[in-house]
Amino acid sequence: MKPASFDYLRPDSPEEALAALAEAGEEARLLAGGQSLMAMLNMRLVQPALLIDIGRLAALDAIRLEADALAVGAAVTQGTLERRAGLAEEVPLLAELLPFLGHYQTRNRGTVCGSIAHADPSAELPLALVALEGSVTLRSARRRRTLAAAEFFAGMLTTARRADEMVEAVRFPRRRAGAGYAFREVALRHGDFALCAVAAIAEEKRLRLAVGGVADRPVARDLPLLDGAALDDALNDFAWALGGSDDAHASARYRRTLVRKLGRAALEEARCRRA
Amino acid sequence: MPARLTAAKRHRVSFTLNGRAVTGEAEPRLLLSDFLRHVLGATGTHVGCEHGVCGACTVQVDGLAMRSCLMLAVQAEGRRVDTVEGLAGAGAALDALQRAFRRHHALQCGFCTPGILMSLGDWLGRTPNPSEQDVREMLSGHLCRCTGYAGIVRAALEAAAEMARERGKEPGDV
């Protein structure tokens, strides 16, 4: 299908984009890579009056290595981040999961911040941000605010972003000394939406597991340092607490099984990598 | 403020298509895929699902393979766009990748082929010496309902080996 009509604006700076967004409010949508938004426009699931294209704003097309995090600007594509030399050292979880995110061709255009703003419950980048306890910087014409990942994601395709705000940057905390990271997912096909995706972090005094594709948003839980049957019990509790439901692709029961099995495998792998 | 391209009007769009400067007019909502086919007459780029899944419309923009159905024509302004029409050389001689596709029967109906060629042309250049698994993961971004992919994978691996030979390396060397 083809999109309904809209006006198109290509601002020359983030400030111009935010001024236009403040004026148009709910009527406008920001367009960056468009790998979710363009499909929704084509299917007429969204019909904005105005598209504000921020995809070519050089000021937003920057990745910065900060003291404790990797900061990724709103126009940075997933492919650019994936090809970044040193990513596996800086944020190993991202290096591991980016190849699973959509397809090569969509990563070349889709942005990191766009995936975060879209907030699909099965998407890999929101999962990574929640697992690592990263943050989202929102900017409007009037002010800037930063939210923890867990505060930002509010439900299925729903976030704490207000109509006049842009996701200006997201920050993924850097690899911590002595920590191991691992990612696993099951999808019908490589690059499809994950039926269940998990990200595990193992440190000396804690285990942390984040799960995507089951609840209405990615959810993380700190687990006690357990092994064997005790760990299986903790994972079983987590699987039930996520409250997944049946859909066309998988039953709730199968998804709980995936949380238990993938969770166990990812946690063990993260522990091995810690050593 | 910059000019706002209004919905009801057509606006001039200019970019470089297969090395040639092209210009046409497009409403903001016109997809790049439709602009290529209906305004410029470049019908080598095919259109399947129009939501980014099937890969038939894949072109290269500034050298990167991407979906032309998930991009607006007005977003191509000033860019370099390459499509399957640009692959063949003088006298319509097939390029190395196209020859490999023919040798390995990597197409039957040919509907998906232009998109796959445009993906591989970019991807093989960035992924020297790919494994079969690498090729299959990249091909997950394309649907082919004729071949079962076996011939496409063989053709891609052979083209990769040929590119490695040209660089003076053996397949598998990093």
Instruction: Give yes or no for residue B91 having a pLDDT over 80.
Output: no
H helix count then E strand count, chain B: 5, 6
Task: Tell me the per-residue pLDDT of B38-69, one tens digit each, with 9 for 90 and over.
Answer: 999 999 999 999 999 999 999 999 999 999 99
Q: Closest to B2 (Cβ–Cβ): which among A11, A83, A103?
A: A11
Task: Tell me the per-residue pLDDT of A126-179, one tens digit each, with 9 for 90 and over.
Answer: 999 999 999 999 999 999 999 999 999 999 999 999 999 999 999 999 999 999
C-alpha torsion sign, points B19, B25, B27, B30:
negative
Q: Closest to B119 (Cβ–Cβ): which among A34, A104, A191?
A: A104
Residue A45 within any structural domain of the chain: yes
pLDDT recorded at residue A269: 98
Interface test with A, best of B27, B31, B64 (most A CBs within 10 A): B64
AA letter at B64: L
Confidence class of residue A236 from pLDDT cuts 50, 70 and 90?
Answer: very high
Angle between helices B132-139 and B113-126 (to 10 degrees): 130
Task: Tell me the per-residue pLDDT of A98-117, one tens digit each, with 9 for 90 and over.
Answer: 999 999 999 999 999 999 99
CA distance B70 to A39: 6
CA distance A119 to B76: 27
Residue A214 within any structural domain of the chain: yes
> Is B132 within 8 Å of chain A by CB?
no
Query: Do A35 and A79 belong together in one domain?
Result: no
CB proximity list for A152: less than 8 A, separation 6 or greater: A116, A129, A135, A136, A159, A160, A161
> Is B65 within 8 Å of chain A by CB?
yes
Residue A244 within any structural domain of the chain: yes
Query: Do A111 and A147 belong together in one domain?
Result: yes
Domain span at A30: 7-53
Residue A1 within any structural domain of the chain: no
What does the longest C-alpha to C-alpha distance in chain A come to? Answer: 59
Query: Do A142 and A230 belong together in one domain?
Result: no
> Is B133 within 8 Å of chain A by CB?
no
Q: Mind listing the domains of chain B with CATH numbers?
A: 11-86 (3.10.20.30), 90-166 (1.10.150.120)
Task: Tell me if A116 sits within 8 A of A139, measured CB to CB.
Answer: no
CA distance B114 to B27: 26
Domain boundary among A173, A194, A211: A173
Residue A93 CA: distances (Å) to CA of A129, A161, B120? 10, 25, 27
Domain boundary among A147, A173, A199: A173
Residue A2 within any structural domain of the chain: no
CB proximity list for B96: less than 8 A, separation 6 or greater: B159, B162, B163
Q: What is the CATH number of the domain that holds A149?
A: 3.30.465.10
Task: Tell me the per-residue pLDDT of A186-214, one tens digit each, with 9 for 90 and over.
Answer: 999 888 899 999 999 999 999 999 999 99
Domain boundary among A157, A173, A189: A173
Tokens of A252: 């709730």
CA angle B17, B23, B24 (to 5 degrees): 115
Q: What is the CATH number of the domain that holds A24?
A: 3.30.43.10
Please report the DSSP string for B110-158 in residue order.
-SSHHHHHHHHHHHHHHSSS--HHHHHHHHTT---SSSTTHHHHHHHHH
Residue A71 within any structural domain of the chain: yes
Q: What is the CATH number of the domain that holds A199?
A: 3.30.390.50
Query: Do A69 and A164 belong together in one domain?
Result: yes
